[in-house]
């Protein structure tokens, strides 16, 4: 009799599972994709149907359908098992992990959170005020049930007493974040963290409840919450603290329900509040996630050994298109700024939706309907163009406008990983404001090297933040290694499967003669390893020529991107020089590089 894991593998292929998360394309007998676990431009993530496994030649990620779901969704094995069993239609049996202590603690917490969710749901049905508030915001009964919205009674220990009666210990209740000891009495009797609040359960990617966000229900405007809170001021929203099963940077509210819609629509909508998300989903915008109650990680993966994706890392893997629709007030704009910067740093296409004054997304949908919300989302502009238009509409002096461009817009351009995009948006600002491109580029370079004061010496590659240089070098090295591996493999084939001389010549032209020769010599120590890798990738060689040409294009793009960055740095040297001859030459060279990049991009659409 086959095991549960074997049953799931019989029903779900590696290709089916990975393609539900990533856009994949055929590569001989295999498939390839942009790796979700590290930032890259050229596909180095390969899926082998015959081996039921995947391997990334860029970062080394590898495994089967279970390890993929674990790493992508940030789940433990049991969570991945639950996700895949549900998808395969297999009944999930109790699983016994390898570490009984860890399994018992986390399993108990998952059970406790599920028990608490059920408790809050029942209390919601008993509280007319809670139902009146939620339904008054335009939420239907079906949506209330779908999101499992609940209510925490205005009692100090009602939930804790219920959980104790259900078999959970005080230690477990505190560990879950649902109760706490008094601040002045660390060993005193525990009390409920959430009281008199509408409760929004937060699920992990496997839909297991791991945290809550609670909105105050009765508020007289003084900051004092109800009769039971005569001495305690309370925030409008409070959220679960971090626990063994909840890490704020690893989940976004609603991502468990939105992930496949984000992949399907190739767009993620990021809102701020829980009600914004609930009503967006109810209106059909099921590719929406929310930041409230969670947090945005500023990298692709967490610091853990498994390299699991952060919340925004998952969104980045599902789609590179992100539309941010936060409230237009000061707090909303500040929160949006962080999300915008992180998205741009990850290389995403970040747009901003302009909301009416004093209305949040939930209000727009409730008062004006889903078509009004659709119009706002469809009208979203790239972040740079959005803030340029805001400045154009504002009634401020020219000097104030120029300072706003320097302080607000240029920092966004500076974090873009693509030199081509940086050049493009510098030109956009120039066309709309008349500010010389060289002046804009100079300020961008200063921001990139972490110094917002005029440079007395030329900005060189050594001034660029080490992390960025390492990432750029790593991407380029991976592509070079793959191409050199193909070269030495084909040199041993009789006859070669591609035009070997033409391939070698273009590779040498793109890399530069000296760099090519040095890399070719160094490769000899790992020659057999590289040959094994490419033979594995191209066990059906009919796609070898096409993939080789694409890799060469990707490498040339990397090299040209570096060239553009160097040209932008050279602009900094022109300050104070006599005449504009040098600057003109730099701009002409930049145009040539940009034209070549556009030629490479255009060629892809012809194939």
Residue 180 dihedral angles phi and psi, to the nearest 5°:
-150, 160
Q: Which CATH architecture has domain 4-88?
A: Alpha-Beta Complex (3.90)
pLDDT of residue 531: 80
HSE-CB of 318 using CA atoms within 13 angstroms: 28
| Residue 119: pLDDT band with limits 50, 70, 90 | very high
| Residue 51: pLDDT band with limits 50, 70, 90 | confident
pLDDT in tens, 419-474: 888 999 999 999 998 999 888 988 888 888 764 444 433 333 334 444 444 444 56
CA distances from 120 to 174, 199, 240, 339 (A): 17, 7, 15, 31
Question: Residue 391: is its pLDDT beyond 70?
Answer: yes
CB atoms within 10 A of CB 87: 16
CB atoms within 10 A of CB 561: 23
Q: What percent of the chain has pLDDT over 90?
A: 41
Select from 395, 300, 222, 326 the least CA-distant residue to 36: 300
Q: Give the residue-averaged pLDDT of 68-95.
A: 83
Contact 200, 215 (CB under 8 A): yes
| Residue 174: pLDDT band with limits 50, 70, 90 | very high
Question: Residue 546: is its pLDDT beyond 80?
Answer: no
228 or 196, which is more confident: 196
pLDDT of residue 230: 33
**pLDDT averaged over every residue in the chain:** 83
CA distances from 68 to 11, 45, 56, 63, 79 (A): 16, 12, 12, 7, 12
pLDDT of residue 457: 38
pLDDT of residue 136: 94
pLDDT of residue 228: 37
Strand partners, 570: none
Domain ranges of the chain: 4-88, 96-246, 381-456, 464-606
CA separation for the pair 215, 308 (Å, rounded): 30
Q: Give the residue-averaged pLDDT of 347-367.
A: 92
pLDDT of residue 265: 95
Sequence-distant (6+) residues with CB within 8 A of 236 are 215, 216, 219
Q: Do domains 4-88 and 96-246 have the same CATH topology?
A: no
pLDDT of residue 352: 93
pLDDT of residue 463: 40
Q: Give the residue-averaged pLDDT of 259-269.
A: 94
Question: Residue 305: is its pLDDT beyond 60?
Answer: no
32 or 574, which is more confident: 32
Which one of 171-175, 202-206, 235-239, 483-487 scores highest in mean pLDDT?
A: 171-175
Beta strands in 14-98 (DSSP E): 25-27, 30-33, 45-48, 53-56, 62-63
pLDDT in tens, 224-235: 443 333 333 468
Among 200-209, 390-399, 503-512, 579-588, name the one with the lowest average pLDDT.
Answer: 579-588
Sequence-distant (6+) residues with CB within 8 A of 368 are none
Sequence-distant (6+) residues with CB within 8 A of 261 are 286, 287
Q: Return the H-helix or E-strand segment holding 550.
A: helix 544-571
* Cis omega (within 30 of 0) for bond into 335: no
pLDDT of residue 392: 85
CA separation for the pair 161, 507 (Å, rounded): 70
What is the CATH T-level fold of the domain 96-246, as seen in this structure?
A: DNA primase DNAg catalytic core, N-terminal domain (3.90.980)
pLDDT of residue 302: 64
| Residue 69: pLDDT band with limits 50, 70, 90 | very high
Among 64-68, 160-164, 458-462, name the one with the lowest average pLDDT.
Answer: 458-462
Q: Return the H-helix or E-strand segment holding 533.
A: helix 527-537
pLDDT of residue 455: 40
């Amino acid at each position: 009799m086959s095991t549960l894991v074997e049953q799931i593998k019989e029903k779900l292929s590696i290709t089916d599972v990975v393609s539900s998360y990533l856009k994949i394309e055929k590569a001989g007998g295999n498939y390839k994709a942009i790796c979700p676990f590290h930032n890259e431009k050229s596909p180095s993530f390969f899926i082998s149907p015959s081996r039921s496994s995947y391997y990334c030649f860029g970062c080394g990620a590898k495994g089967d359908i279970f390890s993929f779901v674990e790493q992508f969704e940030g789940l433990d094995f049991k969570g991945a098992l639950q996700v895949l069993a549900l998808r395969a239609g297999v009944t999930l049996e109790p699983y016994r992990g390898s570490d009984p202590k860890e399994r018992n603690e986390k399993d108990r917490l998952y059970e406790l959170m599920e028990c608490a969710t059920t408790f809050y749901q029942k209390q919601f049905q008993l509280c007319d005020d809670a139902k009146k508030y939620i339904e008054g915001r335009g939420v239907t009964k079906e949506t209330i049930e779908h999101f499992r919205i609940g209510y925490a009674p205005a009692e100090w220990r009602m939930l804790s007493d219920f959980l104790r009666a259900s078999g959970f210990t005080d230690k477990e209740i505190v560990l879950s974040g649902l109760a706490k000891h008094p601040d002045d009495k660390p060993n005193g009797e525990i009390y409920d963290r959430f009281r008199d609040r509408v409760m929004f359960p937060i699920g992990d990617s496997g839909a297991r409840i791991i945290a809550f966000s609670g909105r105050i229900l009765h508020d007289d405007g003084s900051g004092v919450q109800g009769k039971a809170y005569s001495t305690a001021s309370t925030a409008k929203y409070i959220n679960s603290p971090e626990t063994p099963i909840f890490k704020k940077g690893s989940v976004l509210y609603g991502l468990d329900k939105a992930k496949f819609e984000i992949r399907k629509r190739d767009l993620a909508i990021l809102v701020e509040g829980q009600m914004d998300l609930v009503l967006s989903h109810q209106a059909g915008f099921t590719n929406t996630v929310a930041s409230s109650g969670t947090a945005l990680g500023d990298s692709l993966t967490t610091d853990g050994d498994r390299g699991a994706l952060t919340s925004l890392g998952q969104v980045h893997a599902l789609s590179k298109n992100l539309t941010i629709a936060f409230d237009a007030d000061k707090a909303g704009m500040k929160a949006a700024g962080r999300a915008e910067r992180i998205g741009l740093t990850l290389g995403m296409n970040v747009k901003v939706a302009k909301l009416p004054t004093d209305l949040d997304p939930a209000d727009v949908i409730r008062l004006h309907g889903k078509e009004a919300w659709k119009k706002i989302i469809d009208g979203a502009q790239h972040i740079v163009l959005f803030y340029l238009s805001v400045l154009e509409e504002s009634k401020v002096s020219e000097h104030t406008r120029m300072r706003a461009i320097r302080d607000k817009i240029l920092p966004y351009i500076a974090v873009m990983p693509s030199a081509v995009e940086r050049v493009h948006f510098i030109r956009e600002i120039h066309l709309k404001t008349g500010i010389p491109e060289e002046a804009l580029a100079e300020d961008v370079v200063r921001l990139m090297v972490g110094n917002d004061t005029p440079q007395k010496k030329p900005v060189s590659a050594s001034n660029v933040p080490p992390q960025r240089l390492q990432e750029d070098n790593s991407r380029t090295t991976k592509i070079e290694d793959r191409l050199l591996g193909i070269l030495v493999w084909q040199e041993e084939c009789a006859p070669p499967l591609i035009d070997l001389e033409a391939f070698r010549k273009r590779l040498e032209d793109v890399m530069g003669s000296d760099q090519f020769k040095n890399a070719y010599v160094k490769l000899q120590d790992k020659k057999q390893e590289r040959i094994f890798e490419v033979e594995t990738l191209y066990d059906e060689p009919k796609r070898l020529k096409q993939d080789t040409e694409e890799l060469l294009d990707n490498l040339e793009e990397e090299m040209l991107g570096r060239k553009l960055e160097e040209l932008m740095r050279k602009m900094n040297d022109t300050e104070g020089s006599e005449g504009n001859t040098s600057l003109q030459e730099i701009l002409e060279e930049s145009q040539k590089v940009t034209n070549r990049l556009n030629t490479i991009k255009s060629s892809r659409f012809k194939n």
